[in-house]
């Protein structure tokens, strides 16, 4: 797969990782890795715009139409602001979403299965699970980050 489809598929893979994190995926021992995966979703989701603009095979929409779609879709505008602020440490332009979104409250749920050994049988290793829910603080509202991600991906799918 080449062109914008390559980036769209990357966004979908990042979304699946975010979904597993949101719904109790296998814990790899690093909360930071999970937060990195969440940031990667927002960055890749926003940068799909560049792939659409630069792929000559995508002629359905013009550059200004793509930018307008981001600016008029709150979830995509939030992706843009999160992407640019995590990429550059600070947002150097006016927020597309009307206010600077920040990652707020993080709620972790860790599942550990306690396995008791059965006489004569090997002890099974049971992986730990973790779910991570993040709120995005935006213009006085608390938004669920996974809900924002879901709506952003849906907005791209419908647009393309």
| Helix residue ranges, H only, 1-144 | 4-22, 31-54, 63-72, 74-88
Tell me the whole-structure pTM to 2 decimals. Answer: 0.86
Digit-coded pLDDT (tens) for 93-104: 888 998 999 999
105-145, pLDDT tens digit by residue? 988 887 766 665 666 666 666 667 778 899 999 999 999 99
Q: Are the CB atoms for 145 and 153 separated by under 8 Å?
A: no
Closest by CA position to 34, among listed 144, 102, 129, 111: 129
How confident is the model at residue 1, as a pLDDT? 72
pLDDT of residue 107: 86
Residue 86 has a pLDDT of 84
Q: What's the pLDDT tens digit per position in 5-61?
A: 999 999 999 999 999 989 877 666 678 888 899 999 999 999 999 999 999 999 999
């Amino acid at each position: 797969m080449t062109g914008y489809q390559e980036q769209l598929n990357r966004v979908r893979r990042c979304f699946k990782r975010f979904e597993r994190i949101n719904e109790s995926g296998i814990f790899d021992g690093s909360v930071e890795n999970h937060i990195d995966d969440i940031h990667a979703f927002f960055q890749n989701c926003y940068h799909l715009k560049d792939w659409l603009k630069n792929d000559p095979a995508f002629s359905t929409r013009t550059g200004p139409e793509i930018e307008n779609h981001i600016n008029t879709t709150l979830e995509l505008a939030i992706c843009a602001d999160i992407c640019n602020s995590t990429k550059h440490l600070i947002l150097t332009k006016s927020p597309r979403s009307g206010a600077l979104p920040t990652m707020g409250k993080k709620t972790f749920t860790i599942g550990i299965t306690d396995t008791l050994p059965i006489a004569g049988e090997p002890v099974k290793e049971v992986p730990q699970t973790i779910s991570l829910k993040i709120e995005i603080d935006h213009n006085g509202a608390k938004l669920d980050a996974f809900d924002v991600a879901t709506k952003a991906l849906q907005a791209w799918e419908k647009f393309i």
